[in-house]
Each structure stands twice: as structure tokens, then as C-alpha cells.
Amino acid sequence: MPSATAPTKTAKPDGPRCVPLSDTDLKKGSYSVPALQMALEGLHQDGMVVLKNLVDPEHCDRLHQHMSGDRDRILRERHAGAKVYNQGVKSNILQAPPFTKPELLFDDLYFNPFVVQVMNAYLGANPKWIMTTGNNALAGTGGLRQPVHKDTRFRHPKCPFVIVANTALNDFTLENGATEFWLGSHAFSDERDQTVATPETVFQTQKVGTPACPVREEAVEARRAVRPPVRAIMAKGDVMLRDFRTWHAGMPNATDEDRIMVAQIWMAPWYPNYVTRLKLPLSQIDFFQGRANNMPMEIMADYISDEAVEFDQHRDDFGMDPTHYLDYYDVAPQNYRYD
């Protein structure tokens, strides 16, 4: 039995690793080995890591101003029957950044060499940029939060296959809806922890009986006893990398300013999804394709007329299902295979 005077150990507060950007690394355009190792350890062990100071705050301000102004157009769509709110909660919308405005296309956001370096190390050589969207925790929606969920509606691999890189366009705080994360859940969870799609909750072409996004309450409470959730506090210009399997939940924004992040989604080169692609304006092909051709990455994109569509980029349709080897990825409960 310890002495009454023995010092007590205070548990170190939990939270994601934050990888600093040194002047040397910035000048070189790539992380040192210790910094890269820190990023990889965060992804492997926690399923989430924050890369500090990667995007120019002025670029963030300009994008935030445009996207906050554009959110009213998106909210008006609900009157036309469009699915607007993320996870069905009226505090959060998916909102893509503008691609047709060259003055709002920034290399440090879409072709950041430090993000590309980490993606190559974690997902494999020449990862694929397959999708872009954004997430807006709407101002003045205090009290509303999303359920704990994953973004997969299928039997996902039990290894890294998709990463979401989220750039914070303003500071993320507890007051304005910094996302809740269940660190480590990516490595100790499979689709059996998720709820099941019913005729009332099935999404688009999803089949009844397949995994739905929300995590079962019993699984949430079991995980809470092992490692409770944390909040992703970030500064404007930080980039959060999230393994696609990691549990998370959007949180209330009690402030009078939208909390916005831009999401760039990366896929492992080996993963058999061949249909999820960016829709990019033909007028900006030199910006996108020209830069991608000079970096260790692939950009999976269809270049189309600027007037052809609204470039809202797969809003709430995270179609990451495999399009090959469907016998292995069969999600019918009687066919689960964990070999």
C-alpha cells in the first residue's frame, strides 16, 4: 500500500499528436524523419494527427469568407427536397470549396507537399486524390451534435485505405464545434460495431441490412471505458489527418461564426475502388493536372464544363465501396470473413 505522503501520478491528458513545422523542414519542403515518424505514429496508433501551420492563414480567411457566404444557397436547397444536413443533424452541412474561381485555388491547400509526403508513407506510393468536400458547423447551433459514427457503409478493410485531410479555415475551439474523436477506434473496430441500415435509414443505393454510419451505443460505452473521446482543437491553417475508420462526431457551434474545414480525401493505390472521382472544371485543368503531374500522387478527376454542374463534390455521398473483389467484401452477416 503506498505511503500517504507518496507523490501521486497525474495521467497525461489525452489528445492527438501535433506535428510542428520547423523552419528547416519548411525551407526543404518535406518533413524530417522524426517529424514524419510522429505523423505516422499518430495515424497508426490514434487514427488521427494534426499537422501544424501548413496553410497560409490569409488563404484560409479568403476561403472562409466565400464559403460562409455561400452556405445560404446550400440551406435553401432543403426547400427543394435536397439532402442538406450531414448525418441528418441540423447543425452541420457538407460544403465543398469553390473550384471554378482561380483566385481561390491555393497550392498549399490542394497540393501541400507535407500532406502528400505523409500520404505516400501511410497509404503507399502515389496515393490517389479522389474527392473533395467540406464541413461547416453552422453558427448558433449550440445544443445539437451528431451521433458517434464512421463514414463507411460497407465492410471496410482492417488496414489503412482512405485518409481525410481536413484544413481548418478558422480556429477550432470547444465553443465553435471542434470535432469529437475516439482515438484508437480505427484499429479496434469493424462493421459489427455499427448499426444496421433499415428501410427507413437506408442511404441511396445502400441495401437494407448493411452497416449504417452510427456506432452502436453498446460499442460506444465499451470504448469509452477504454479510451474516452477527445476534441480536435486546431489553429487556422492546421491540417487534421483522419483515418477513415476512426469514430467521430460533429459538435455544437455556439458562436456567431461558421466553423469550416475543407476536406481532401486520399485513397491507397491498391484499394479496388475505380469509380469515385473528382469533378473538376475544365477551365482549371492546368492548375490541377499540371501540379499533380509533378508530385508523387495521382489525381482521379473528370474535367467537365464549368457550367455543367454545381461543383458540390459528392455531398454526403462517400462512395468508398470497393468495385472489385466483391465476394471478399460481401457485407451479408452470414458471410462475414475475418481471416
pLDDT tens column, 111-154: 999 999 999 999 999 999 999 988 888 888 777 788 999 988 88
Residue 9 has pLDDT above 90, yes or no: no
pLDDT at site 338: 40
pLDDT score at 108: 98
From the list 137, 132, 108, the residue with the least C-alpha distance to 295 is: 108
| Mean pLDDT along residues 268-294 | 93
Residue 85 DSSP class = B
Alpha helices per DSSP H over the chain: 23-28, 33-41, 57-76, 107-110, 113-123, 217-226, 285-292
pLDDT at site 11: 61
- Name the DSSP class of 302: E
pTM, two decimal places: 0.88
Q: In terms of Cα–Cα distance, which of 118, 152, 180, 206 is closest to 320?
A: 152
Structural domains in the chain, sorted by start: 17-316 (2.60.120.620)
Least confident of 45-49, 108-112, 141-145: 141-145
Cα–Cα nearest to 187, from 130, 255, 131, 245 = 245
Burial 189-203 (b: 16+ CB within 10 A, else e): bbbebbbbbeeeebe
pLDDT, position 63: 96
Write the pLDDT tens digit of every residue in 20-29. 999 999 999 9
The torsion defined by the Cα of 160, 53, 262 and 282, in degrees rounded to 10, comes to -100
| C-alpha cell, 17 | 499528436
Q: Report the SS3 class of residue 326.
A: coil
Write phi, then psi, for 104 (nearest 5 degrees). Answer: -115, 20
Q: What is the residue type of 79?
A: H
The pLDDT of residue 143 is: 73
Copy the grid coordinates of residue 97: 470549396
For residue 230 the three cell numbers come to 477527445
Across 3-17, 144-158, 186-200, 222-236, least confident range: 3-17
Is 60:170 a contact under the CB 8 Å cutoff?
Answer: yes
Judge whether 182 and 146 are in contact, CB under 8 Å: no
Q: What angle do CA 312, 317, 320 make, to 5 degrees?
A: 120
pLDDT tens for residues 197-244?
Answer: 888 777 766 778 888 889 999 999 999 999 999 999 999 999 999 999
β-pairing, 259-267 with 239-243?
unpaired
